[in-house]
Chains A and B, each alone.
Chain A
Amino acid sequence: MILGHYTYSELVRRPGRTLLTLGGIVIGVAGVFAIALVINTTRDAYRAMFHDLTGWAALEIVAEGSGGFAASAAGDLAAVPGVKRAVPVIQTVAALLTATGPSGVMVLGTGPDGETAAPSGRIVAGHALAADDEIMLVENFARSLKIGTDAKVRLLSAAGAREFRVAGLLEPTGAAGFNGGGIVFVTLAAAQRLFGMPGQVTAIQLACNEGAATGDIERRLAERLPAGLTVRAPATRGQFAQNSLMATEQGLSTLSAVSIVAGAFVILNSFLMSLGERRKQLAILRAIGVTRRQVTRLLLREALLLGIVGMAVGIAVGLLTSMLLTHGMQKLLGVRLRGMELSLAPFLLAAVFGPGMAVAATLAPALRAAKRPPLADLMGWKEQAGDGFRRRPFAVGVVLLAISGALIVALLANWLPGALVKIIPAPLMGMFLVSGVLLSPAIYPYASRAVALLLRPLWGVEGRLAVRQLDRNATRTSFTAAVLCVALVVTIAMGQTIRNNIGDVEEWSLRTITADYLVRSTLPDLGFSIGALLPESMHDELAAIDGVEQVHDLNFVQATAAGQPVIVLARSFDRQATGALDVAEADREAVIRGLWAGEAVIGTALAQRMNLAAGDSLTLRTRKGERTVRVAGKVTEYVAGGVAVYLERGVAKELFAIDGVDVFMVSARPGAATSLGKTLAAYCQERGLLLQSNAEFRERIHQMMGGVVGFLWLLMALVFVVASLGIVNTLTMNVIEQTREIAVLRSVAMQRRQIRWLVLFQALGLGLSSLLPGTAMGLVLAYLMNLSTRVLAGQIVDFRADAWFVAACCGACLATALAAAWFPARRASRLAIVQALQYE
């Protein structure tokens, strides 16, 4: 009990240290927690959205490419064993035109069937649907558009615009919660008229008997369905966003590994420091009969206590962070998220990593502390030259480096199974960084000697004394330098990768979107699930506008190719459009000719995933059954993360029964761009359409990435903060240890300013000695990440080392070191000399 009290009073006695350790744990836990939570939330966002939309239906039957079909084509579904009820619906997207502009809405048209005609949510105003010219809206959504019951609104679809009256408002639950309330309920008849598909539906929703195995029913149905129709779980519509999100998710999980490693080293650092200070006390405990095991347990209990508190705070901080991050992700996704998906996993991770990393980081030093001969510490005997080079961490470092090296090679050579590839990057990153830190005591002396040699002529006696002080505590110093080094490595590697990738995306957008203007109904979402189509007749209208040189039609079709959910990009090509494809093959002409002949051009990501090359064949599930097309070539593509297939629009129209256009790409005659912009703006204004200039489109891409990139920068800033905490720690420790020496220097010769420099030079020494290894390792890692992008995301991005960026990172590294040294330096310079001379 007394020992327990000792733990507590020890933590309270040094509030700064305790807070620092807590800070490390909080950083790690918050990072892991927030990122896990956000990935969970966004990964499930689409699935959950479509799950809500269908509610009771376990399965649905849809046409390939998601167009309309005659309900009778599916045959007598209720006769299939296990199927309880089959309800035909229209569930497709239109643009709701209001005074505030067009908004993409899901239109759900249900039949007179009692159970489904009335949407599940409670009616909060007006009445249920009674006529075919009525709609019901979701209350919060209607409010945001400033419309109430009885208001007249227009819905625009591929078949043109129609006017409706708002019959009632619903509470946003169940299907009404879809995409933040962006859903409109109409009668089936009204939907058929609106979308110009008389007698047709877009889905037949199926309820299954209680206890029936959905998988079996799905298989039975699949056998019975005619070509062109398919059965699936409603939530699978969410898959289409998955591909686009993958790279971001991977970036985030890698960062969570970084935050753990960074956090663990803050803990290790401050724990080493507190042990150093308490040597004598621990020796006294040992001398009066406290056993080694009790000492170890005492120290671990301290760590555990901090770990638990840190976990709690970390979860709170993580929740806040994830809100910010979710906001950024929402921008990227283009759909409204329902809120946090509070699953168990992030909490479990936090519980493991909070106390876990606190204990893990303290275990080795605690064991060592318990093993120390008490007499030496009691008598205050100085250790021999420095605290020496330790074999065990070095060995562990070598092993970790070997393992991560082997894994990187295996990853790049494509030897790893797919499931492993998806989860490996984060642990790999963690391992790589930890091995770097563990090996640093072996590398640091060389770096430090180089720095000392380089700067000897430049800095005076303060610099020399500083270097010696650093060398004297080689382990502590090298761990601190390593943390700084890790900050630099992470910043350079992640920053380089992000910059290169963004550069690639921007180049791609420049190359593929050559049209001057884009006309569309609403902005698309990442999964291409809620974009509304425009009437095809608009093509001719647009082409007839003065100043228009050319109009190309583009459709995004959710389809299945080679068994994968892909986005089919259906567009018209002409000879000039060769430039619009970011073709990897040398012979563009041949690729375009292939497209005209009905061949497909695939994104590099799909090619990588399915191991396809030009000349191979690709199986598409179409309205006409399975079709095999030849792959004409590969392109860099960022739509759907590159898991995309280009088809000539005429070909695709037939294969997927496309009716309507997602985007009209309008090119102006030379010199007519500005005046055409005005004419088009008026045209779109009149029809409630969205007009994007080429610059605006690219700006939007820029912004979409901006949210996530901003967050990545924020996390990197955090990494530097962590590193600076380590430096504050180490330098404060150095100053405390040097108290007497500083007093001697002060009494013999040195002014306050010089003492301050003595400490600042230590920081500078730390910073400088981490620059070279940090930059080298950072660039190597950046290059490896670049290579692995090919395997992980299937994107081939040119690697360009940006000298200015690297220089800026190095500058940030030195600035961080110096800024962190400020307080220890001040403390040192303000020592009361007389008392300090007596300091033991």
Chain B
Amino acid sequence: MAADTPPAVEIRGLRKVFGAGHTRVEALAGVDLDIAPARFVAVMGASGSGKSTLLHLVAGLDRPDGGTIHVAGQDILALDDDDVTLLRRRRMGLVFQAFNLLDALTAEENVSLPLVVDGIPDAEATRRAAEALARVGLARRGKHLPREMSGGEQQRVAIARALVIEPVLLLADEPTGNLDTHNGEAVIQLLRHLVAEGQTILMVTHNPAHAAMADRIVTLRDGQVVDDRLLAGGSPLPIVGRSEAL
């Protein structure tokens, strides 16, 4: 980690509790995590270990019960809901396991949505959407509706939608979870490629092979970081602690 550049994400003592009494679950129990710019960080861990919760909190989709989160130097917990939304709209890209495209909109419209909502003129938004689609290899599918595309293609559209704003941070929760091996590989390759272009990515995955494409793997267990290791730039190295993670 380079100490001279400020981290893209800085998390300190992050806690999140769901429910109370009998049903109380401590999803995150004090997580500290710094992510340097232009790095690809994979988060692993057993089901229920708090991976998604961590991502949601970083994205400002939910509020923690303790700790701090800074994204690009900005304390997101100090922002109100509208400002967090603005931050997401302009600086964060989100990719979900379930693609979450809007059925009624074409690929291009889905991709241009964050721009259009931000008041960027239609013409420019469309142009940038087309660029983003080209980056994910879907230059010619812009006019297609989600239901006319395969799962892999839909996920690439979702990635394009996340990229179109040139985000400081790309957050992906099991982006390959709904895809077959081949499509999953393609998506990971795409992400890897983006990091090479300077994109910062925080990705949750269950797939060790996909995690191995990252620069660094953080493993959670019961809401705590139990393992944090650097990999040599996307090379498929054996992963220590893998058995625990699964």
Contact = CB atoms under 8 A, between A and B. Distances in A.
A746 interface: yes
Given A748-B94, A748-B161, A834-B56, A754 B104 contact: no
A464 to B, nearest CB: 9
Contact of B104 (A469, A753, A834): A469
B56 A461 contact: no
Given A748-B89, A749-B88, A461 B100 contact: no
A382 B103 contact: yes
Contacts of B94: 747-748
A650 to B, nearest CB: 82
A382 B114 CA distance: 26
Which of B85, B96, B116, B147: most chain A Cβ within 10 A? B85
B232 interface: no
Contacts of A465: 102, 104-105
A740 B86 contact: no
A382 to B, nearest CB: 7
A832 B61 CA distance: 8
B113 interface: yes
A472 interface: yes
B197 interface: no
Nearest to B83: A751
A752 B81 contact: yes
B82 interface: yes
A741 B103 CA distance: 9
A472 B104 contact: yes
Contact of A837 (B100, B114, B116): B100
B81 A749 contact: no
A740 B104 contact: no
B117 A461 contact: yes
A752 B105 contact: no
B65 interface: no
Q: Is the interface of A mostly helix, strand, loop or mixed?
A: helix
B118 interface: yes
A460 B102 contact: no
Nearest to A469: B104
Given A749-B118, A754-B117, A834-B61, A744 B102 contact: yes
A740 B81 contact: no
Interface in B101-121: 101-105, 113-114, 116-119
B61 A833 contact: yes
B62 A834 contact: yes
Contacts of A469: 104
A750 interface: yes
B59 interface: yes
Contacts of A747: 59, 61, 88, 94, 100
Contacts of B105: 465, 468
Contacts of A382: 103, 147
Contacts of B98: 837
Nearest to B145: A385
Interface in B177-219: none
Measured as residues with beta carbon below 8 angstroms from the partner, the interface class of chain A is 20 to 34
Contacts of B88: 747-749
Contacts of A754: 117
A741 B161 CA distance: 15
Contact of A751 (B59, B81, B113): B81
B245 to A, nearest CB: 23
A753 B118 contact: no
Nearest to A748: B114
Contact of B114 (A740, A749, A832, A834): A749
B82 A741 contact: no
Nearest to B118: A749
B85 A749 contact: yes
Contacts of B161: 748
A750 B61 contact: no
Contact of A749 (B56, B61, B89, B96): B89
Nearest to A829: B81
B100 A744 contact: yes
Contacts of A834: 56, 61-62
Given A752-B82, A837-B96, A468 B104 contact: yes
B85 A746 contact: yes
Nearest to A838: B98
A22 to B, nearest CB: 34
A748 B113 contact: yes
A465 B96 CA distance: 21
A468 B105 CA distance: 9
Contacts of B85: 746, 749-752
Which of B82, B96, B117, B147: most chain A Cβ within 10 A? B117
Given A461-B117, A468-B105, A749-B89, A740 B100 contact: yes
Nearest to A462: B117
Interface in A469-527: 469, 472
Contacts of B59: 747
A825 to B, nearest CB: 16
Which of B61, B62, B119: most chain A Cβ within 10 A? B61
B93 to A, nearest CB: 9
Interface in B132-158: 147
B112 to A, nearest CB: 9
A821 to B, nearest CB: 19
Interface string A805-840: 000000000000000000000000000111001000
Nearest to B101: A744
A461 B104 CA distance: 13
A552 to B, nearest CB: 74
A302 to B, nearest CB: 31
Contacts of B89: 748-750
A835 to B, nearest CB: 9
A669 B102 CA distance: 81
Interface string A374-389: 0000000010000000
B62 A750 contact: no
A610 B111 CA distance: 74
Interface of B: 56, 59, 61-62, 81-82, 85-86, 88-89, 94, 96, 98, 100-105, 113-114, 116-119, 147, 161
5 shortest A-B CB distances, which residue pairs?
Answer: A749-B114, A749-B117, A468-B104, A749-B89, A744-B100
Given A745-B102, A746-B61, 10 more contacts: A382-B103, A382-B147, A461-B116, A461-B117, A741-B103, A744-B100, A749-B117, A750-B89, A751-B82, A837-B100
12 contacts: A460-B119, A469-B104, A744-B102, A747-B61, A747-B94, A750-B85, A751-B86, A752-B82, A753-B82, A833-B56, A833-B62, A834-B56
